[in-house]
Amino acid sequence: MTGLVVAMDGPSGSGKSSVSRGAARALGLRYLDTGAMYRAMTWWMLQQGVDLADPAAVAARCGEPAIVSGTDPDGPAIHVDGVDVAEPIRRAEVTGAVSAVAAVPEVRARLVALQREIIGAGDIVVEGRDIGSVVWPRAAVKIYLTASAQARARRRSAEVAGSTVEAQQEAMARRDTLDSTRKTDPLSMAAGAIELDTTALTLDEVVAEVLRLVKERT
Ligand code: C5P
């Protein structure tokens, strides 16, 4: 299956990362976390003291940081100007600011170009919000993962120390609204995508279903 690209889109907490990594491992494919790239850009902007409420300021600086993404499903690395940012990009400060940065068209143009360079070699599972619709519409398999708002919040609060399900649900609803209503490349289900509701499924069940879909379509 040389050149295979699997696009995995969906809202936060739908299980994209665990499912994408599990499927990539099982299929011997690479893995790209495009959300980590938007987070890395946001981390850098915060470090630089850029006013994130000012899209023009974000646009003016977004060409500066060198963002390098690894593609190993067992430990996807992400570096900004040579600094390993895998841990700080998961902090609440970045999570709360990333949707504003990701809404800036110049940021998207730059990161989508980087993503296409990595995807070009194929044999990869790519997770994000706009992979099947914008970044790689010709992906052989496009999956749109969903889950109930409660299930998504429950999963996320289990990952984030000291957070309640209610607080997570509220924060995720805010981020989903920003991500799906922005003008450039909003979160949406791509033409030809298969929707997979993971609310009542275990991780292994979802990965098995993805593997079945990949087999069926390749
Ligand atoms: O997937 P994750 O929660 O790490 O993504 C962080 C943010 O990056 C999303 O809330 C969204 O604003 C942005 N994003 C995006 N397009 C992608 C991936 C992520 O706009 N392909």
pLDDT reading at 34 higher than 60: yes
Residue whose CA is at the smallest distance from ligand 1 atom 12? 99
ipTM of the complex as predicted: 0.98
202 CA distance to ligand 1 middle (Å): 23
Please provide the size of the chain in residues.
218
Rounded to 5 degrees, φ, ψ at 215 are -60, -40
* DSSP label at residue 195: E
pLDDT reading at 33 higher than 70: yes
Q: Is pTM beyond 0.90 here?
A: yes
Yes or no: say if 139 and 218 are a contact pair by the CB < 8 Å rule. Answer: no
Residue 6, classed as helix, strand or coil, is strand
pLDDT at 159: 77
Q: Which amino acid is at 132?
A: G
**Structural domains present in the chain:** 5-217 (3.40.50.300)
214 CA distance to ligand 1 middle (Å): 24
Which residues participate in the annotated binding site for ATP?
A: 10-18
149 CA distance to ligand 1 middle (Å): 17
Closest to 76 in 3D by CA, of 63, 87, 65: 87
28 CA distance to ligand 1 middle (Å): 25
Ligand 1 in contact with 69 (CB < 6 A)?
Answer: no
pLDDT reading at 57 higher than 70: yes
Q: Which amino acid is at 193?
A: A
Which residues participate in the annotated binding site?
A: 10-18
Closest to 98 in 3D by CA, of 87, 90, 106, 110: 90
What is the tens place of the pLDDT at every residue in 91-144?
999 999 999 999 999 999 999 999 999 999 999 999 999 999 999 999 999 999
What is the tens place of the pLDDT at every residue in 153-212?
888 888 777 788 888 889 888 888 998 899 988 888 999 999 999 999 999 999 999 999
